[in-house]
């Protein structure tokens, strides 16, 4: 089987070739309610507990992130694929995504954002 022919790509799109990190959930609490979104544009910044995530104001989670300056990074396992796609394709504006996708919020120790019981690991970040 031959290799696909090399293609030219616009520079403004080329970044998507290396955008993906591990797929994670980001949970937030805006002071009133919990929310969860999916993020794959992630990076650990060296050998430090500092993480980079890329998102923007078109997402409902963004306001909560800016307002509270905290979140939980929850690491899903492959059996949560439907929840990962679900939480990443609808807005928390009018939906309780924990209920809708059968995820269980668990109170954290350091932040208001909830941990997710079904996840492999939860990192509180604040
Ligand atoms: C696999 C996957 C990866 C995603 N990665 C990102 C990402 O890195 N950054 C981002 O802003 N949105 C990403 N999204 C889209 C958001 O999760 C989506 O816009 C979500 O509806 C936002 O929820 P919210 O409006 O409740 O905050 C991704 C979605 C999926 C399914």
Domain boundaries, the chain: 11-125
Tell me the average pLDDT across 5-24. 87
Rounded Cα gap, residues 70 and 117, in angstroms: 19
Q: Is 36 helix (H, G, I), strand (E, B) or coil?
A: strand
Q: Atom 7 in ligand 1: which residue has the minimum CA distance?
A: 39
- Residue 33's contacts (CB-CB under 8 Å, 6 or more residues apart) are 92, 96
Q: Is 85 in the pocket of ligand 1 (CB under 6 A)?
A: yes
Average confidence score pLDDT of the chain: 94
Give residue-wise pLDDT tens across range 31-57.
999 999 999 999 888 888 888 999 999
Q: Is 90 in the pocket of ligand 1 (CB under 6 A)?
A: yes
Quote the strand ranges of the chain, DSSP E. 24-29, 34-39, 42-44, 51-53, 71-75, 105-106, 115-116, 121-125
Cβ atoms within 10 Å, residue 63: 13
Give residue-wise pLDDT tens across range 61-96.
999 999 999 999 999 999 999 999 999 999 999 999
Cβ atoms within 10 Å, residue 55: 13
pLDDT value of residue 85: 98
What the block records as the tokens of 2 is 């031959």
Question: What is 11-125's CATH number?
Answer: 2.30.110.10
Q: Are 64 and 115 in contact (CB under 8 A)?
A: no
pLDDT value of residue 2: 67
pLDDT value of residue 1: 58
> What pTM, to 2 d.p., does this model score?
0.91
Atom of ligand 1 nearest to the CA of 93: 26
Probe target for ligand 1 pocket from 18, 26, 38, 74, with the most ligand atoms within 8 Å of CB = 38
Q: Is 101 in the pocket of ligand 1 (CB under 6 A)?
A: no
């Amino acid at each position: 089987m031959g290799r696909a022919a090399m293609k030219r790509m616009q520079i403004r799109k080329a970044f998507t070739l290396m955008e993906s990190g591990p797929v994670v959930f980001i949970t937030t609490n805006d002071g009133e309610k919990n929310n969860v979104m999916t993020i794959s544009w992630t990076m650990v910044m060296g050998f430090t507990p500092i993480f980079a995530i890329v998102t923007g104001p078109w997402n409902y989670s963004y306001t909560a992130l800016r307002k509270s300056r905290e979140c939980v990074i929850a690491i899903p396992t492959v059996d949560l694929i439907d929840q990962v796609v679900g939480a990443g394709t609808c807005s928390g504006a009018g939906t309780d995504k924990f209920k809708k996708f059968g995820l269980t919020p668990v109170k954290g120790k350091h932040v208001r954002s909830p941990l997710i019981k079904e996840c492999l690991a939860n990192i509180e970040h604040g």
